[in-house]
Amino acid sequence: MPSGQCQLEELFPDPTGRAQQEDIHANTIGKTVVIDVEANRLVMCVSAHLHTGMSMGVIRTDRLTRRFGDLVAVDDLSVEVPRGGVTGLVGPNGSGKSTLIRMLLGLIRPSSGTADVLGHPISRPEVYASQVGALVEAPAFVPGLSARANLRSLARLRGLPDVRVEDVLMTVGLMGREQEPVKRFSLGMKQRLGIAAAMLPDPQVLVLDEPTNGLDPAGIVEIRGLLQRLGESGRSVIVSSHLLAEIQSVCDHLLVLRFGVLMYAGPMADLLQRAESHIDVQPEFDSDLERLHQVLVDAGWTVTTDSSGQLRVLAPLAAAAQVNRDAGSGGVTLRAIHARQDDLERIFLEMTGTNDDELAASRAAALRPPHDPGATSNEADR
């Protein structure tokens, strides 16, 4: 059996041959694989630190599962988060992000599987708690106490000197407001305070759930810069967010979850490389539309027509000039030509479904019993 198939089985316990084995590249040793569940095939292999036999990651999970009654919040998750840099954790609502974070922090226990943080099992969070800072869901403070008093109480809990409080207040830009009771803070200020609390222990691993929630644009830029600096300093920052543009701009690595199942794990750049590009073209005269279509097809391009009747050439961005030349050679002058590439949001939606109906359909498919002849996805196989 090729090593790549072994990898696939470790990540997705029962590929059952439905993933097109020919798509599995031979050199997937130590690579992350991506499964297109809808198409039921292996999409790509990207370099990561999965299953290399030697743990390089700051967080590693092995078949980690958490059930709440019938609901499987995190499903057989095996993944490794690389040390250093910023890793994004994304997924639709209910995809298991918060459950995963809570398990890593020792707030809830897994139903099965194992995981470790900084090399220590999550069954003993007290061993690594001093090196992990976290903002889990909404920032939580005593409303009647000042920002400083809240942070001091957390510093004392962690056995840290009060000077750390001043450091983190300065870092998140709350100096000058530190004496105000938290109940008077705006959502953005509470968010900054939450990040300050997470940074109190000067952690090696920083886990932030929606860190830019409620921040104004300047605040978002500020926090983005802070996260990048922390990542570049060798710390491992894990950011969970629905703001995919933010994730794309700040993260080096990405984990995508859907219904508790890992959809992607690997470098952001590798994921973005698979983004489809296209070139939208408009002839000078609408009457030339059909002619332009034919000219481009004759030139060898794959051309589609969108709902507004605009022609779309499926081609790399760099092909725009050639498309323009081909149209001109065919006697059609272009009024407009736009080269576009899918961003993370587009890729994410393709992976996870674009609307609630799609998500519900996917969910139903994922929950369908394995013996159901209609079940075709890898999720259903599990």
Partner 1 sequence: MSGRHAVADRMGNHRPGLLNVVSSELLRLRRRGIALGWLGLTTAMAVLINVVMFQIVKNGSPPPLNGPGINFPTATTLLSDKGIVAGLPAASSMFGVVALSFWALATSTDYSTGLVRVLVSAQPRRWRLVMGKWMALALATALTTVVALVVSLMVAPIAARAAGFTPTAWGTNLGPDLASATVNLFCALLVWGTIGLALATLTRSSGIAIGVGIGYVLLLETVIKAAVSSAGRWLPGTTIAALANGGTPDLTYGRALALGLVYVVVALGAALVVFTRRDVTD
Q: Rule CB under 8 A: say whether 115 interacts with partner 1.
A: no
Q: Rule CB under 8 A: say whether 188 interacts with partner 1.
A: no
Yes or no: say if 296 and 327 are a contact pair by the CB < 8 Å rule.
yes
CB nearer partner 1, residue 13 or residue 125: 125
| Residues 154-173 close enough to bind partner 1 by CB under 8 A | 154-162
Going by C-alpha positions, the residue among 329, 328, 331, 326 that lies closest to residue 315 is 326
CB nearer partner 1, residue 58 or residue 108: 108
What is the nearest approach in angstroms of partner 1 to the Cβ of residue 83? 16
Q: Rule CB under 8 A: say whether 201 interacts with partner 1.
A: yes
| Residues 331-350 close enough to bind partner 1 by CB under 8 A | none
Residue from 42, 64, 90, 132 binding partner 1 (CB under 8 A): 132
Instruction: Report the relative pairing of strands 132-135 and 205-209 from DSSP bridges.
Output: parallel
Judged by CB under 8 A, which stretch of 125-133, 185-193, 295-303, 311-319 contacts partner 1?
125-133
Residue from 2, 30, 84, 125 binding partner 1 (CB under 8 A): 125
Going by C-alpha positions, the residue among 188, 256, 196 that lies closest to residue 221 is 188
Judged by CB under 8 A, which stretch of 30-38, 103-111, 172-180, 262-270 contacts partner 1?
103-111
CB nearer partner 1, residue 153 or residue 282: 153
Yes or no: say if 281 and 327 are a contact pair by the CB < 8 Å rule.
yes
Cα 140 from Cα 191, distance rounded (Å): 9
Q: Rule CB under 8 A: say whether 106 interacts with partner 1.
A: yes
Judged by CB under 8 A, which stretch of 139-147, 282-290, 311-319, 320-328 contacts partner 1?
139-147
Cα 41 from Cα 35, distance rounded (Å): 6
Q: Rule CB under 8 A: say whether 238 interacts with partner 1.
A: no
CB nearer partner 1, residue 102 or residue 278: 102
CB nearer partner 1, residue 155 or residue 303: 155
Q: Rule CB under 8 A: say whether 129 interacts with partner 1.
A: yes
What is the nearest approach in angstroms of partner 1 to the Cβ of residue 164? 9
CB nearer partner 1, residue 139 or residue 353: 139
Q: Rule CB under 8 A: say whether 145 interacts with partner 1.
A: yes
Instruction: Report the relative pairing of strands 302-305 and 277-283 from DSSP bridges.
Output: unpaired
DSSP letter string, 112-179:
EEEEEETTEETT-HHHHGGGEEEE-SS----TTSBHHHHHHHHHHHHT--THHHHHHHHHTT-TTSTT
Handedness of CA 289, 290, 292, 293 (dihedral sign): positive
What is the nearest approach in angstroms of partner 1 to the Cβ of residue 360? 24
Cα 294 from Cα 298, distance rounded (Å): 6
Yes or no: say if 176 and 65 are a contact pair by the CB < 8 Å rule.
no
Tokens in use for 352?
Answer: 């996870």
What is the nearest approach in angstroms of partner 1 to the Cβ of residue 209? 10
Alpha helix segments (H runs only) across 207-355: 217-232, 244-250, 268-273, 289-298, 320-329, 344-352
Residue from 9, 71, 109, 112 binding partner 1 (CB under 8 A): 109
> Do you know the residue count of the chain?
382
Q: Which residues contribute to the site for partner 1 (CB under 8 A)? A: 102, 105-109, 125-126, 129-132, 134, 136-138, 140-145, 149, 152-162, 197, 201
